[in-house]
């Protein structure tokens, strides 16, 4: 009986989280289109954006690579430290 208490509690908590998340989501209501039909909504066109000069700047990705390395170390070092502790116990 004791084996089933922890999984049951985790299952109940996750179901409550799922219900809370689904209860918070609502579909957005469209504008008050009283005299239009559903087919008329399909044929509305969006304006084509004007072509502008490319504003992107070519830069270095060194900062992104360094940050990825730091995040990787933050994750891997505790795992390796814990693994050494597991090896001592056995």
Task: Go through the chain and tell me how many residues it has.
Answer: 90
Q: Give pLDDT, residue 42.
A: 57
What are the residue ranges spanned by the domains of the chain? 62-90
Confidence at residue 13, expressed as pLDDT on a 0 to 100 scale: 93
CB 33 within 8 A of CB 41: yes
pLDDT at 14: 92
> For 78, how many CA atoms within 13 A lie in the half-sphere containing its CB?
5
pLDDT for res 51? 76
Q: What is the mean pLDDT of each run of 10 residues along the chain (90 residues)?
A: 81 89 64 54 67 72 89 91 70
- What's the pLDDT at 47? 75
């Amino acid at each position: 009986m004791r084996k089933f208490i922890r999984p049951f509690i985790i299952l109940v908590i996750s179901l409550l989280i799922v219900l809370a998340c689904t209860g918070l989501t609502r579909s957005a209501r469209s504008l008050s289109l009283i005299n239009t039909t559903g087919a008329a909504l399909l044929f509305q066109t969006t304006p084509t954006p004007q072509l502008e000069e490319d504003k992107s700047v070519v830069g270095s990705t060194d900062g992104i690579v360094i940050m990825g390395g730091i995040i990787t170390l933050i994750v891997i070092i505790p795992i390796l430290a814990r693994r050494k502790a597991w090896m001592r116990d056995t």
